[in-house]
C-alpha cells in the first residue's frame, strides 16, 4: 500500500478555538449556510443535557486534551497497522482529507463535518462543487 509522504512536523498551525461561535463563523466562511450553527454539547450520555442540544444534529466534534498517556495509547493501537489512505470508499460516499499539519485537528474536524453526511446541501453551490472536484479521483493523501 502506498505511503503518504507528508509529515505532521512539516507545519503547525495555531489550534482553532473551540468556541462554537468562532467555529460557526469559520464554517460559514467555508460556505456553510447561515441556517447551520455549531453548539456546545455538555454531555453525550446525560439525557437532560442532551435535551438542550439544538436539533437537527449533523455532526459532532469531540474536543479532548491530548496527553502523553493518550498519545502512548494511540501509538500502541496503531503499531503494525497500515496508514489509512481512504481507498475503500466508493466515489462520492465520503470526503476525507488526511491531516498533514500539526494542531489542525479542529480545522480538519470542521472541514469533515461541513463536507460530509447531510450537510453538503447546506453549502453554497460553488463550495460544494469545488470540494467534489478537488477530491474526485485522487487519494486522500494527495488531496491533503
* β-strand partners of 90: none
Mean pLDDT of 53-79: 88
Pair 134, 143: CB distance under 8 Å: yes
How many CA atoms lie less than 13 Å away from 79 in the CB half-sphere? 6
Residue 35 structural domain: 20-69+95-143
What is the SS3 assignment for 144? coil
pLDDT greater than 90 at residue 117: no
Domain membership flag for residue 64 = yes
Domain membership flag for residue 7 = no
Domain membership flag for residue 32 = yes
Position 6 confidence tier, pLDDT thresholds 50, 70, 90: very low
Higher-pLDDT residue of 51 and 142 is 51
- For 77-91, the pLDDT digits (tens) are 989 888 766 665 555
Least confident of 25-29, 55-59, 77-81, 133-137: 133-137
Which CATH number goes with the domain that contains 139?
3.40.532.10
For residue 16, give the C-alpha cell.
482553532
pLDDT greater than 60 at residue 37: yes
Domain membership flag for residue 1 = no
Peptide bond into 141 cis (omega under 30): no
DSSP string covering 51-100, please?
TTS-SS-----------HHHHHHHHHHHTTPPPP--TTSPTTT-------
pLDDT at residue 2, rounded to an integer: 44
Amino acid at each position: 500500500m502506498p505511503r503518504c509522504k507528508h509529515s505532521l512536523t512539516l507545519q503547525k498551525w495555531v489550534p482553532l478555538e473551540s468556541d462554537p461561535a468562532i467555529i460557526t463563523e469559520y464554517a460559514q466562511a467555508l460556505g456553510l449556510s447561515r441556517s447551520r450553527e455549531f453548539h456546545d454539547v455538555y454531555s453525550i450520555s446525560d439525557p437532560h443535557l442532551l435535551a438542550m442540544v439544538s436539533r437537527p444534529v449533523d455532526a459532532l466534534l469531540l474536543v479532548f486534551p491530548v496527553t502523553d498517556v493518550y498519545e502512548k495509547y494511540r501509538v500502541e493501537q496503531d503499531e503494525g497497522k497500515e496508514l489509512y489512505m481512504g481507498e475503500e470508499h466508493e466515489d462520492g460516499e465520503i470526503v476525507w482529507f488526511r491531516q498533514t499539519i500539526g494542531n489542525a485537528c479542529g480545522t480538519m474536524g470542521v472541514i469533515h463535518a461541513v463536507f460530509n453526511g447531510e450537510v453538503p446541501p447546506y453549502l453554497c453551490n460553488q463550495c460544494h462543487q469545488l470540494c467534489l472536484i478537488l477530491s474526485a479521483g485522487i487519494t486522500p493523501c494527495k488531496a491533503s
